[in-house]
Amino acid sequence: LKAVQAIKDLKIGEILVLDNIRKWDTENKSFKDFAEAEKTEMVQVLSPLFDYFIEDGFGVAHRAQPSIVGFKTLLAGPLILKEFQYMTKLIQNPEKPVAMLIGGAKAIGKYKAMKYNFENDRLDYALCSGLTAILIMEAIGMNMGSKNKDIISKDLEANKDDIIATYNKFKDKIILPKDLVIKENGGTKNISTEEAGKYNTITGDIGPETVKEFSDVIMKCKTIIANGPPGIFEDEVFRDGTKAIKKL
């Protein structure tokens, strides 16, 4: 392998940047048995070439994939240490009230995090947007349109009863969007959540009423946990909600 030779040719003080390891097929597989991850080609090839592997990708640290769990000489990098210190404080001794701002994709994982924190009395409010809001609203009987529903349909089918039970138990603390933003005729349009089924298009951001309600809750809380953006901020027309919340 070219990478192996390049690593062997490194001189003291030099840094080598390799290609994305996720192009290696086994890096995209999860391993329940970490010993099996150690046996993968990537770990077997690379581990003899260095003394320590420093993991600093906090956003991927939960994955049971070879680069995360396969190397025995694993150390945490500065970002992971910083995030760990913040999260430890939030979990063990957060200043109350605590609000979790939930948005973006990976709906079921974020729903489960919300549920866990509510059940363990670590959370006072959940400000739900993105696909997690779609998941909850569909579960409790709201029609968010087939284009939204299709994205979360598998998670909805597998977890609907649990989501309904959780919502009924904590509905005074779960804040769902009142209005949303869609694309229409080359621009954007603000609609109520009740209208989402009629328009049947991807809802890409929270609307101004929701921004105000979220803002009011955030301003009275001492600790805010951000778990994803309110809008699809990669698309310029769906950035307003995220920008408004970020300014608080």
At which residue do the structure tokens 């974020």 appear? Answer: 110
Q: DSSP secondary-structure letter at 172?
A: T
H helix runs in the chain, sequence order? 2-8, 34-38, 41-46, 66-69, 78-92, 107-119, 130-139, 146-170, 196-199, 208-219, 240-246
At which residue do the structure tokens 């229409």 appear? Answer: 184
What pLDDT does 195 receive?
Answer: 96
Q: What is the pLDDT along the chain (248 residues), one digit of tens a residue?
A: 788 999 999 999 999 998 998 888 899 999 999 999 999 999 999 999 989 999 999 988 889 999 999 998 889 999 999 999 988 887 788 899 999 999 999 999 999 999 999 999 999 999 999 999 999 999 999 999 999 999 999 999 999 999 999 999 999 999 999 999 999 998 999 999 999 999 989 999 999 999 999 999 999 999 999 999 999 999 999 999 999 999 98
Q: What domains are there in the chain, each with its CATH number?
A: 2-80 (3.40.50.1260), 95-246 (3.40.50.1260)
What pLDDT does 22 receive?
Answer: 86
What pLDDT does 248 receive?
Answer: 85
